Chain A
């Protein structure tokens, strides 16, 4: 398993508050990793740093075989180089149809003129159908996505993530607002994606994390508190103190 992303010594503070404190993290490809931690542990900031939304005060974030630094790249460059993100709150383009949302996410050239002269292809349409089938929205392709239920929007956003075909999938609370059956489907999907790609899942729901059956990283106050299997970290006294025992 080769390293896809490596963060070392990363710190970031907002108005003196250290949201991330000397954090080091690495993930290989393929790998599935769950990140848990109490509120304010820095889980979202962690994703913000990888995707380029937040610039760390210090530290390194290296990406890929050539170990290029993500810190010098813009958000869109990072996304193009293969980092896909699903937000905690489903953020889809509500005024547009499910098909348009997926088409926008579909892996293609991203320049303005490429997009202006873009012609719909059969292969693209088939890929959209395929993803729609995977996320259970085949019948909804023509619907305006603002009309979808919360759970369906979650699915749509997962579909958009798949359509981007990223190498690293950052998934923030995928199971929120889903029915038990849907949650099971989500775990299957993430585990399947993790056979080829690197997948990082932030989740509060222990049952969900247990079903993912993967290495777990516990974040607390901006740094890694423990790392290992779920059983290993839940047996850790520090983890029990800050997170589980309350």
Chain B
């Protein structure tokens, strides 16, 4: 283990920076410290940590393995839905039990169950629990769903796609289709997840009504930080050593890897599924902090944003992706949340809530063209002693090397 950190110094630095950040936020948070930061800002920071985790997963899929998945936010959203089902069920159950306690005849379990259904699905004109909610009463089972549902979707989708050797832009389109289809399906009331209303009130943890949101926010912040730290460690381990060598080989020339005897499809499937599961876990931590999840969250654009974060942060290095997600998503909430002052040009006033996307688009183009290493590239200036050559490809035969023209005899 010590040699792992010695060979991957950036991991130790990242974890140290994360620990210091957690300490700083804890000291400034309303529940545990001075209260310099507001509860909602602590939640924003906690959510940002979850986005950083999913960006790290995206970097493993895209930056290391070369699969430009534009569907990983579907797994993130599914994780959120899975935890949200339990949160809604358990909290509604408590409320119903409370209100029925005054009734002259104690309610039967069926009556409670029906009343919960009425409460949750009344908004979509239904009262029956769809089969989907079969495990929603149980926290451990629903927690297992957080892992299993995104994991199985990733496994099945990946198996179908990789087995047919779909690669490159076609695979990206396919992943977009997957996330779009899932989002459209969930928009339907019949899908059983409350259609476009989504699941709400997720910030209220069942049985913890007495605990103020300021305290819950710092709990989730800690939880998200721990998840990011562990996820980072996991992926750093996966991409180091021989596994990292093989998946980078697949990125650069998958046919060559095949002829070395590696079953490329299994490797892609392994990476795709593992990152899908971690994305689901990140989503399960994100949405209780966001408070609401609806199908718009897994619209195709969400996954494209994810790719943009990773590209701006710097592909092929985990800390780059994490930084990209943090910087872009925090800037995004600053610009769109009215934090950035409008710029009055006399004839026209730049209103950042409208112009932020344009700015983001321009920075994406600029980074792609001018600084392909992204934000993470800044660290190369003072850390890497052996930079990877910019140029790949043949340097041509040596001077003086013997060359013959095909079909001609030696002269």
Contact (Cβ within 8 A) B402 A183: yes
Contact (Cβ within 8 A) A150 B403: no
Contact (Cβ within 8 A) B402 A115: no
A167: CB under 8 A from chain B?
A: no
A120: B residues at CB distance < 8 A = 241
Take A93-B248, A111-B266, A112-B266 as given contacts and tell me if A51 and B406 are in contact as well, using a CB distance cutoff of 8 Å.
Answer: no
Contact (Cβ within 8 A) B394 A90: yes
B103: CB under 8 A from chain A?
A: no
A243: B residues at CB distance < 8 A = 407
Interface size classification for chain A: 35 or more
Interface-lining segment among A10-18, A56-64, A94-102, A128-136: A94-102
Give A146 to B389 CA distance when docked, in angstroms: 7
Take A75-B258, A115-B243, A176-B403 as given contacts and tell me if A150 and B394 are in contact as well, using a CB distance cutoff of 8 Å.
Answer: yes
Closest to B409 in A: A206
Taking CB atoms and an 8 Å cut-off, the chain A residues in 182-227 that contact chain B are 183, 204-207
B256: A residues at CB distance < 8 A = 87, 91, 93
Closest to A108 in B: B242
B209: A residues at CB distance < 8 A = none
A233: CB under 8 A from chain B?
A: no
CB distance from B164 to the nearest CB of A (A): 13
Closest to B238 in A: A116
Contact (Cβ within 8 A) A244 B253: no
B267: CB under 8 A from chain A?
A: yes
A38: CB under 8 A from chain B?
A: yes
B21: CB under 8 A from chain A?
A: no
Taking CB atoms and an 8 Å cut-off, the chain B residues in 226-269 that contact chain A are 238, 241-243, 245-246, 248-249, 252-253, 255-264, 266-267
Take A94-B393, A150-B395 as given contacts and tell me if A177 and B262 are in contact as well, using a CB distance cutoff of 8 Å.
Answer: no
Contact (Cβ within 8 A) A100 B394: no
CB distance from B152 to the nearest CB of A (A): 18
Contact (Cβ within 8 A) B252 A93: yes
B388: CB under 8 A from chain A?
A: yes
CB distance from A34 to the nearest CB of B (A): 15
A160: B residues at CB distance < 8 A = 260
CB distance from A217 to the nearest CB of B (A): 17
B392: CB under 8 A from chain A?
A: yes
B264: A residues at CB distance < 8 A = 76
Closest to B241 in A: A118
Take A90-B394, A111-B266 as given contacts and tell me if A79 and B261 are in contact as well, using a CB distance cutoff of 8 Å.
Answer: yes
Closest to A242 in B: B407
Q: Which of B238, B260, B393, B404 has the most CB of A within 10 A?
A: B260
Contact (Cβ within 8 A) A147 B248: no
Give A151 to B396 CA distance when docked, in angstroms: 9
Closest to B396 in A: A150
B270: CB under 8 A from chain A?
A: yes
Contact (Cβ within 8 A) B392 A150: no
Contact (Cβ within 8 A) A151 B401: yes
Give A116 to B394 CA distance when docked, in angstroms: 31
Contact (Cβ within 8 A) A96 B242: no
Take A75-B259, A118-B241, A160-B260 as given contacts and tell me if A104 and B246 are in contact as well, using a CB distance cutoff of 8 Å.
Answer: yes
Give A180 to B393 CA distance when docked, in angstroms: 24
Contact (Cβ within 8 A) A149 B243: no
Contact (Cβ within 8 A) A96 B248: yes
B255: A residues at CB distance < 8 A = 53, 75
Taking CB atoms and an 8 Å cut-off, the chain B residues in 376-411 that contact chain A are 386, 388-389, 391-398, 400-404, 406-407, 409-410
A232: CB under 8 A from chain B?
A: no
Take A85-B259, A160-B260, A204-B407 as given contacts and tell me if A93 and B253 are in contact as well, using a CB distance cutoff of 8 Å.
Answer: yes
Contact (Cβ within 8 A) A76 B401: no
Take A95-B248, A150-B397 as given contacts and tell me if A179 and B402 are in contact as well, using a CB distance cutoff of 8 Å.
Answer: yes
Closest to B316 in A: A95
Contact (Cβ within 8 A) A94 B392: yes
CB distance from B66 to the nearest CB of A (A): 11
Residues 74-87 of A, flagged 1 when their CB comes within 8 A of B and 0 if not, give: 11110110001101
A137: CB under 8 A from chain B?
A: no
The 6 closest A-B pairs by CB, nearest first: A177-B397, A79-B261, A94-B392, A80-B261, A75-B258, A76-B263
Q: List 25 A-B contacts (CB under 8 A).
A: A75-B259, A76-B258, A76-B259, A77-B263, A79-B261, A93-B248, A93-B249, A104-B242, A104-B249, A104-B257, A111-B266, A112-B263, A116-B238, A146-B388, A146-B389, A146-B391, A150-B397, A150-B401, A151-B397, A151-B401, A177-B396, A179-B402, A206-B410, A244-B409, A246-B407
